[in-house]
Amino acid sequence: MKTAVVGGGAAGFFLAVNLKEMMPAMEVVIFERSHHVLAKVEVSGGGRCNCTNSFDSVTDLSHVYPRGHRFLKRLFNNFDYQDAYRWFEQHGVPLVTQDDDCVFPQAQDSHAIIDCFLSLARRYHIEIRKGVRVDSLDQLRDFDNVVVTTGGSPKGDGLRWLAVLEHEIETPVPSLFSFSIADEHLHALQGTVVNDVTAMLVGTKIRATGPLLITHWGVSGPAILKLSSHGARYLAEQNYQSPMSIRWLPMQDEEVAALLYEQGVKQPKKQLTTYSPLGLQQRLWTYLVEKALASRAQIRWAELNKKDVNRLVNVLLNDTYQLAGRAPFKDEFVTCGGVSLKAVNPATLESRHVPHLYFAGEVLDIDGVTGGFNFQAAWTTAYTVALSISNNR
């Protein structure tokens, strides 16, 4: 029997290797359109490959998989993050879990995973045909099974041949990007990190909490990437011009107001802008005071009146910006959308339209936030397909 794997990325290799372990006699060929396999694994996680997550802080899968969480929950019975952890360690890639729950190779180098896959592919005689783009099943007539692991396709061009085969497609849009904001005074604060902010898309319930990084084009960091993931489709519909608000402090209005009044008593003679009382960096504090109080920003703490306090509380806890698009860098990590989950059997990931055709990885309409969740989805779906093919023998 012969299986063709279309796409030499994370899901493609994981599938090929596991299929050979389950069915050593299966002939497996990986078709890769470029001359460089596992390219995304190589650059992932800043070259360290955040290959899964301990899931210790995950209380609800929908928080980390905006698309596909119900589907994955079931597939985790076949292969979950603990299985992935064990798999890599048993295949010679020791892992470490960071304090933030992200899991990396102990070598802190994505090549640990690439070398593992390539050496297993050699050992199992998996053929890798590079420079071959597959866009029709006619190219693969000799094969008994075909697995599509072509990854995300933000412009949708890689999905056309699958749509021709009747598969429903969820319109692809980018996810995991940072935001442009046209505000030079904010840009001047580039490099500032605030650890516990909540960013919200105004007029929606879409929000995300975590560290935020101010950049020379706007904002980035985990909270913003998470917000872009949960809001991927909404933001695309708004042409990335939505208003967004930032809650700079994890506090309630009354608590912030009380702390501000307290400063008026503690240091009445100090100028408001020169002392940051709430743990925000001095430069950011000055920027926010100037934004809130404009011409009154230079007052002393003793002069702070009720109106000033209300304005400050409003800027500290509901600081609104108009987004001016996605950041001008191609830093999208994943695609939201792809082959609809309606198009596949949820237990086997076999196409409902073409027998013996399967899907795994980001080509499916499953994607997660940062933290190793996207690779975990690739491992889980790829393992499931290997299992389905071997059960179908």
Smaller CB distance to ligand FAD: residue 157 or 262?
Answer: 157
Query: Which residues are CB-neighbours of 52 under 8 A, at least 6 positions away?
Result: 81, 84, 85, 95, 103, 372, 375, 376, 379
Q: How many residues bind ligand FAD (CB under 6 A)?
A: 35
Does position 372 interact with ligand FAD (CB under 6 A)? The reply is: yes
Smaller CB distance to ligand FAD: residue 43 or 302?
Answer: 43
Selected binder of ligand FAD within 68, 105, 158, 174 (CB under 6 A):
158
Smaller CB distance to ligand FAD: residue 339 or 387?
Answer: 339
Smaller CB distance to ligand FAD: residue 149 or 286?
Answer: 149
Selected binder of ligand FAD within 45, 174, 210, 222 (CB under 6 A):
45
What tokens appear for 182 in the block? 């046209």
Q: Which stretch binds ligand FAD (CB under 6 A): 38-46, 225-233, 239-247, 340-348?
A: 38-46
Interatomic CA distance for residues 288 and 306, integer angstroms:
17
Selected binder of ligand FAD within 7, 68, 174, 210 (CB under 6 A):
7
Minimum CB–partner distance for residue 133 and ligand FAD (Å): 4
Query: Which residues are CB-neighbours of 122 under 8 A, at least 6 positions away?
Result: none
Give the distance from CA 231 to its chain's centroid. Answer: 12
Interatomic CA distance for residues 128 and 220, integer angstroms:
38
Q: Which of 279, 234, 239, 231 lies closest to 259, judged by CA?
A: 279
Q: Which stretch binds ligand FAD (CB under 6 A): 41-49, 113-121, 211-219, 321-329?
A: 41-49
Contact 275, 263 (CB under 8 A): yes
Selected binder of ligand FAD within 103, 134, 246, 309 (CB under 6 A):
134
Does position 40 interact with ligand FAD (CB under 6 A)? The reply is: yes
What tokens appear for 34 in the block? 């470029």
- Residue found by looking up tokens 């890798």 in the block: 128
Q: How many beta carbons lie within 10 A of that of residue 123, not counting itself? A: 10
Bridge-based pairing state of the strands 145-148 and 319-326: unpaired
Interatomic CA distance for residues 349 and 302, integer angstroms:
66
Interatomic CA distance for residues 323 and 205, integer angstroms:
17
Q: How many beta carbons lie within 10 A of that of residue 243, not counting itself? A: 13
3-state class of 380 per DSSP?
A: helix
Minimum CB–partner distance for residue 11 and ligand FAD (Å): 3
Selected binder of ligand FAD within 4, 5, 11, 386 (CB under 6 A):
11
Q: How many beta carbons lie within 10 A of that of residue 43, not counting itself? A: 12
Interatomic CA distance for residues 67 and 131, integer angstroms:
31
Does position 98 interact with ligand FAD (CB under 6 A)? The reply is: no
Minimum CB–partner distance for residue 49 and ligand FAD (Å): 6
Does position 338 interact with ligand FAD (CB under 6 A)? The reply is: no
Q: Which stretch binds ligand FAD (CB under 6 A): 37-45, 167-175, 261-269, 272-280?
A: 37-45
Does position 264 interact with ligand FAD (CB under 6 A)? The reply is: no
Phi-psi region of 379 (alpha: psi -120 to 50; beta: other; left: phi over 0): alpha
Does position 39 interact with ligand FAD (CB under 6 A)? The reply is: yes
Selected binder of ligand FAD within 19, 20, 28, 31 (CB under 6 A):
31
Does position 378 interact with ligand FAD (CB under 6 A)? The reply is: yes
Task: Using CB under 6 A, list all residues that contact ligand FAD.
Answer: 6-12, 31-34, 39-40, 43-45, 49-50, 133-135, 149-151, 158, 333-334, 361-363, 372-375, 378
